[in-house]
Amino acid sequence: MLIAITRKVSNSIAHCELTHLERQPVDLELARRQHRQYEKTLEGLGFELHSLPEEPRLPDAVFVEDAAIVLDECAIITRPGAGSRRLEVESVAAALRPYRDLVHIQPPGTLDGGDVLRVGSMIYVGLSRRSNSQALEQLRAIVRAHGYEVTGIPVGGCLHLKSAVTQVAEKTLLLNPGWVAGKNFPALKLVEVDPAEPAAANALMVGSAVIHPAAYPRTGERLEKAGIRVLPLDVSEIAKAEGGVTCCSLLFRG
């Protein structure tokens, strides 16, 4: 059974954390409609949806990806780098508990799920403003027994590693070479974002297709040319909160 954990958009999303973007008004109703469409797309792709209730006092709580890393063998509950986001993890942990043994990142480690890219048995961890080397070492110790190799990747110019690079097919990554160096991934094929669309590297791989923001059609074309089926979604309001399509779900086999 394929499971998707999501969480409804908070009515306080206008007070979200922003690092690289100027604050712009978020249309809350539109954000909720776009998020519902995202959830429906996942349902249409065969995921059983666990849509958590809104957390009105946690503006960024819709971005459930940052609260956990779900592997086949266990789930790692993060300690988000932004203090305002630390309370998001407990409800995500509760939702994951029926499916996985849970292990928690401990202080002084900080880790956002958006900085964790798993490709097969490789786990790449972005060393960003949100995620530090103490958390990387903890993660390495947790997953070693399960056969994963953990590598730190310097990230600059964007929020998370997965703002800069995501997996779009078994051996293919979509990447913005200005934010993360392609040489970090020598064994993988790379598709670069269109230079006019620097924020287009965040795609959500779902089976043989990817969910990708409709705002980045040129990069969408590059993906199609590489033989990847693209499902464009309008996520304009989520993007104003510096979120992408991976951030809004945790996808795993139940």
| Residue 147 beta carbon to ligand CIR: minimum distance, rounded to whole angstroms | 25
- The one segment of 4-12, 57-65, 118-126, 143-151 that binds ligand CIR by CB under 6 A: 57-65
Using the rule CB under 6 A, is 114 a contact of ligand CIR?
yes
- The active-site residue, picked from 16, 50, 158, 160, is 160
Catalytic residue flag (residue 160): yes
Please select the residue that binds ligand CIR; options are 16, 135, 173, 206, rule is CB under 6 A. 16
- The one segment of 62-70, 86-94, 171-179, 185-193 that binds ligand CIR by CB under 6 A: 62-70
Site string for ligand CIR, 153-192 (x = CB under 6 A): ------xx--x-----------------------------
Which positions ≥6 away from 139 have C-beta within 8 Å?
A: 69, 76, 105, 111, 116, 123, 125, 150
Site string for ligand CIR, 84-113 (x = CB under 6 A): -x----------------------------
Catalytic residue flag (residue 212): no
Using the rule CB under 6 A, is 65 a contact of ligand CIR?
yes
Residue whose C-beta lies closest to ligand CIR: 114
Using the rule CB under 6 A, is 63 a contact of ligand CIR?
yes
Q: Which of residues 222-251 bind ligand CIR (CB under 6 A)?
A: 241-244, 247
